[in-house]
Amino acid sequence: MEFVGMNKPKLSPEAKAWILYDGGNSAFATTVIAAFFPIFFNDFWATGLEAEVKTAYLGWGLTISNLVLLFTSPFIGAITDVSRTTKILFSGFACIAIISVAALYFIPAGSWLYALIFFGIANYCFAAGNTLYDKMLIQVSDESNIAKISSYGFAFGYLGGGSLFLLNAAMTIKPEFFGLNSVAEAVQWSFLSVSVWWTLFLIPIMLRIKDQGETLPGNKLKLAFQKVLHTLKTVSSKKNVFIFLLAFFLYIDGVHTIMAMAADFALNLGLPSSDIIVALILVQFVAFPTTLLWSKVASRIGDKNTLLITILLYLIVVGYSAFLSSAMEFYILAAMVGAIQGGIQSISRSYYATLIPQQEAGEYFGFYNMFGRAGAFMGPAMVAIFVTMTNDTKSGLIPIAALFIMGGIILLKVKSPHESL
């Protein structure tokens, strides 16, 4: 395939703006999704509810948000393929998410429903915007540097998101040092800081990136719907792409499940929440340099071989997890995950970009994010089934290992652009 960005400088102003944005929106993934919202929901907004009810409400909020995205992301991408609206929709999703996160600052204790609504909106718009952000990767790169730029984006995301999270964590540990009256107030200010941080990193990409492509005549929603249906009906003609998506669905589910299970493993080891936060910070700052290293590995041995290596390393992580017995071993696990996570995420994105037709990048990245989101459901469910059947937490590692093994085997069948199909 050919890229819009052919013959551009290796790091154009557009590419730099694209990379910077990841440092802003990753603060939402780290501070809000991974750390503070689940804790604050339980201890502040949902006070008075039974523990099981809190868990159920939070789970349903996430499920509804993710399911809506699952079925709409291909259409969002397809709309931008038939009209020059990538930048408009991307900025719209980002702004709605930013406002929704800021709204969390103002929601009083006990208002769990409002908290879930604004969090659900933010989560959906964050992920929908990322579909279009991923599409822009093709616009700001060429075949020689797409893996590098994709890796730089994830690496800067870990650095930017991790830096703000480090500040937010310090605010909750020593609120009085920051002139705050309580941990609750510190968390509320953390939500507001994410919105400000995200906005600052949105500005460069809004100024630098220009919409490309053409606007087709006719009703854009109807055209997008027809486009997605046509793609689904002609899967056989894009067999290579969908083989990759199936592999991606499996192994990225393993990645997501490890991230989801990490806190449970830590709790089973008796670690306090402060140690879990330290481990999460460790993941961010280990991932920053190692993600950059993975781009160099990919440039030498190819994206597909690099992904196979990261899958093998994740299998080692799963095996190591079976023998965890102390806090120090959990920190080592966090460092191992950080060393691999950015690589498998960034190289998956750049490799996929080389497999798809450029003129349909929006729709195809919609499918990419759809398969990635769909994978987030299956792994935890399989773990729950195994743990329930065996009454042993570590038995949940078996389906995780199976996801990586199956994903790796299917990935072997994907033909890279320079291989004969």
Is the model more confident about 76 or about 359?
76
Contact, 316 vs 401, CB < 8 A? no
Q: Cα separation of 110 and 108, whole Å?
A: 6
Which residue type occupies 136? M
Q: Say which residue the tokens 């993934």 belong to.
A: 29
User: For residues 213-226, b (16+ Cβ closer than 10 Å) or e, as one string?
Assistant: beeeeeebeebbee
Reported pTM: 0.86
Query: Does the pLDDT of residue 346 top 60, yes or no?
Result: yes
* pLDDT classification of 418: cutoffs 50, 70, 90: low
pLDDT tens-digit readout, 34-79? 888 888 888 899 888 887 788 778 878 877 888 888 889 889 988 9
Q: Cα separation of 368 and 249, whole Å?
A: 9
Determine the average pLDDT of the residues in 83-109.
95
pLDDT tens-digit readout, 252-271? 989 988 876 776 667 666 77
| 274 to 46, 54, 271: CA distances (angstroms) | 21, 22, 8
Task: Give the pLDDT of residue 272.
Answer: 78
Task: Give the pLDDT of residue 267.
Answer: 65
Task: Give the pLDDT of residue 8.
Answer: 45
Task: Give the pLDDT of residue 268.
Answer: 65
Task: Give the pLDDT of residue 5.
Answer: 45
Task: Give the pLDDT of residue 419.
Answer: 63
| Chain centroid offset of residue 142 CA | 23
Q: Cα separation of 123 and 160, whole Å?
A: 19
- Domains of the chain (ranges, CATH numbers): 13-212+219-411 (1.20.1250.20)
Task: Give the pLDDT of residue 3.
Answer: 46
Query: Does the pLDDT of residue 119 top 90, yes or no?
Result: yes
| 414 to 84, 261, 363, 420: CA distances (angstroms) | 31, 30, 20, 11
pLDDT tens-digit readout, 217-232? 777 788 888 888 877 7
Determine the average pLDDT of the residues in 97-111.
96
Tokens of 219: 């009703």
pLDDT tens-digit readout, 283-330? 999 999 999 999 999 999 999 999 999 999 999 999 998 888 788 888
Show the CA angle centred on residue 404, arms to residues 293 and 165, nearest 5°: 50
User: For residues 379-391, b (16+ Cβ closer than 10 Å) or e, as one string?
Assistant: bbebbeebbeeee
Considering 85-99, 141-155, 216-230, the range whose residues carry the highest mean pLDDT is 85-99
